[in-house]
Structure 1
Amino acid sequence: MLKTLSLTAALILAGAAASAEMQVQLGGGWDGQKVPAGQQCALHGGKGATPPMTVSGIPSGAVWVIAYFNDKSYTPLSRNGGHGTIGFPVKGSTARLPAVPGMTASLPGGARVIHPARSRGDYASPGYLPPCSGGRGNRYTVDLRAIDKAGKVLAEVKTVDIGKY
């Protein structure tokens, strides 16, 4: 009986460890409710950058965390990185993803543009497009995927609210 209980407890603990999920904490004044002052696009008087983020629960074998920035209130840019897709190199189970500037493909800290924003005309960006709705209350989010060196998705967090503008 004791052996069965020990095995059951071990399986329960192993299942709990396997189900650990990636988590994201915003930094730099980003609270998930409102886009901080100055973090909007230049067309609306800002000099926006991505929110710095701490990602925990990154699975073993992950070498990149890919961030897909979206405007959920504007259908053409509402999914699959409509506001840009940025890759951040990672090592270990926790990573600090730095803020990277918008409207440029030149990024610090080994970050790189995976896909530029799908915006056009005056809103075109070779990388991340900061919130640019003109303050109409659009909802901005980010989806994060941890990937291995072969490009396999190991874990993901979807629809993290970064703020409204």
Structure 2
Amino acid sequence: MKIIPMAALLVLASVLSGCDTFEYQLAERVAELQVSLADPAWDGYAIPEGQQCKKFGGHGATPLLKVSGIPDEANAVIVAFSDRSWFLMDHGGHGMIGLWTGRLHNSIEIPVVAGESFDLPKGMFLEQAHQGGRGEPGAYLPPCSGGRGNRYFAEVAAVYKGTGDEPTQLLASGEVFLGHY
């Protein structure tokens, strides 16, 4: 097994931190989404009790999110869950899930998705499973830093998801701070 020097890891971290979360074709104009927490238990300051990963005694799930400002051309909204305090879990490392919107939905609520599971509500799809090695496999890994004060975000993209060889086009984006844990 080859051991990578710490300096190489730091260089890699700085390169990765500059990457965009959503690697989709950009629309001519990318609009701004308004994203908010729709469950009062999620105050945007601290992750609610019990919403952490199973490893730390929780049974976490994604928060209910309200998204508005969705362009008419969008047929899906994709949410990337990230821990910005740990580069390996940033840029959707906690999972990326999507919701088919159809067209002409300017505002929607993204349903709650159970953590550490691939069981998604009707109309939702998996864009990328979580990348964490701490939790059980699944579409979403709840905050799993052990209470070290890490910063968790939901980055949201309204897209036109093409079929076949047609690329996915980013039409609008926004984010919300979920809290510290």
Q: Give the TM bin, normalised by the shorter chain.
A: 0.7 to 0.9
Shift of residue 31, structure 1, vs aligned partner: 1.7
Q: Give the number of the structure whose residues are more often helix, by fraction.
A: 1
Q: How does 1:11-160 map to 2 (within 5 A)?
A: 21-28=32-39, 29-79=41-91, 81-91=92-102, 92-120=105-133, 122-150=134-162, 151-158=168-175, 160=176
Residue in structure 2 matched with residue 161 of structure 1 by the alignment:
177
Residue in structure 2 matched with residue 7 of structure 1 by the alignment:
none
Structure 1 vs Structure 2 CA RMSD: 1.7
TM-score (norm 1): 0.82
TM-score (norm 2): 0.75
Question: Identity of counterpart residues, as a percentage?
Answer: 43
Larger Rg, first or second structure (1 or 2): 1
Aligned to 2:32, what secondary structure does the other structure show? coil
Shift of residue 109, structure 1, vs aligned partner: 2.8
1: CA distance between counterparts of 2:30 and 2:100? 23
2: CA distance between counterparts of 1:19 and 1:72? 23
**Structure 2 runs not aligned, ≥5 long:** 1-28, 163-167
**Structure 1 runs not aligned, ≥5 long:** 1-17
Aligned to 1:141, what secondary structure does the other structure show? strand
Shift of residue 134, structure 1, vs aligned partner: 0.8
**Residue by residue, what CA displacement relative to the aligned partner does 1:114-157 show, whole Å, maximum 9, x if unpaired?**
1011112x424221000011111110011111011322111111
1: CA distance between counterparts of 2:106 and 2:156? 14
Aligned residue-pair number: 145
